[in-house]
Amino acid sequence: MAVYGSGLAKGLGITMRRLFRGPVTELYPYEHKHPAPTSRTFLVMSANEEGGPACRACNTCIVGCPDHVLRLEKHPDDNRRPLEFVVNSGRCTFCGLCVESCPYDALHFSQDYERATYDRASLIYNLVHEGALTGEGDEVR
């Protein structure tokens, strides 16, 4: 017991010093943290030069997705345009295989991670609806 004390005192000193260093926590949601540009968040579809979806309905992302998250319907008039592109983000694990596998760089990640909703149905959203971009997720909050 004679040696009892030095380690304890050192521990107390460490915590007291940390007390004066100040908090490191971020005051979310008053201060937003912006994820890195490479961060894998919710999906967004890019636009081509005419303003339509950059997707060419090649189905590579559908095949590459391990969790059956994406659904694609081809346009009846043009085989290389999508009519509907639906993302079931409730099933998505944000692995990024779809973005990586797209040969036309049509999909990319928004920096948006605040999409919690109150019901499952609203987690399913369209990136392309009736052949046009819905602009879903393009606004970064």
Partner 1 sequence: MVNFERTDAPGGTETLLLNVGPQHPSTHGVLHFMLEMAGERVVNAKPVIGYLHRGIEKLAEDRTWQQVMVLTDRQDYVAQFSNEWAYCRAVERLAGIEVPERAEWLRTLMCELNRITSHLIWYAGVTMDIGTLGTPFIYAWETRERIFDFFEAVTGARIMPNWMRIGGVRTDIDAGLLAPMRAFLADDFPKECDVFEALLTGNEIVVSRMKGVGVYTAEECIHLGITGPFLRASGPARDLRRDAPYGAYDKLDFEVCTDDVGDSLARCRVRLRELRESARMCVQLIDRMPEGEIAVKVPRALKPPAGDCYVRTESPRGELGVFVASDGSAKPYRYRVRSPIFYNLSAMPRLLPGHLLADMLVIFGGIDTSMGEIDR
Partner 2 sequence: MSAALWVHTVVGLVALLALLAGVTLVGVWWERKFIGHLQRRRGPLHHGWHGLLQLPADMIKMVGKEDTVPAAADRLLFQFGPVAAIVPAYAALVALTFAPGVALVDMSHGLLYVFAFETMLPLAFALIGWSCANKFTLLGGLRAAAQLISYEIPMLLAALGVVLAAQSMGLTTIINAQTGVWYIVKQPLGFAIFSIAMLAEMNRSPFDLPEAESELVAGYMTEYSGMKFGFVQLAEYSVLLVGSYLIAALFLGGWNMPFLPASWLWLALKIVLLMTATMWIRGTFPRLRVDTLTQLSWKWLLPAALLNIMLVAALALALGPKLY
**Residue 51 near partner 1 by CB under 8 A:** no
Rounded CA gap, 118 and 65, in Å? 26
Interface residues for partner 1 in 3-32 (CB under 8 A)? 3-5, 7-8, 10-11, 14-15, 18, 24
DSSP letters along 105-130, please? --EEE-S------SSGGGGEEEEEET
- In single-letter form, the type of residue at position 9 comes to A
- Residues that contact partner 2, how many (by CB under 8 A): 15
- Residue of 47, 62, 83, 95 interacting with partner 1 (CB under 8 A): 95
Taking residues 12 to 31 in sequence order and writing x for each that binds partner 2 by CB under 8 A, - otherwise, the string is x-xxx-xx-xxxxx-x----
Beta carbons of 3 and 75 less than 8 angstroms apart: no
In angstroms, give the least distance from the CB of 15 to partner 2.
5
**Residue 96 near partner 1 by CB under 8 A:** yes
**Residue 72 near partner 1 by CB under 8 A:** no
**Residue 52 near partner 1 by CB under 8 A:** no
Collapse the DSSP code of 87 into the 3-class scheme (helix H, G, I; strand E, B; otherwise coil) and give the result: strand
Whichever of 48 and 93 has its CB closer to partner 1, that residue is: 93
The position carrying tokens 């990024």 is 96
Beta strand extents in 24-106 (DSSP E only): 43-45, 70-74, 82-88
**Residue 36 near partner 1 by CB under 8 A:** yes
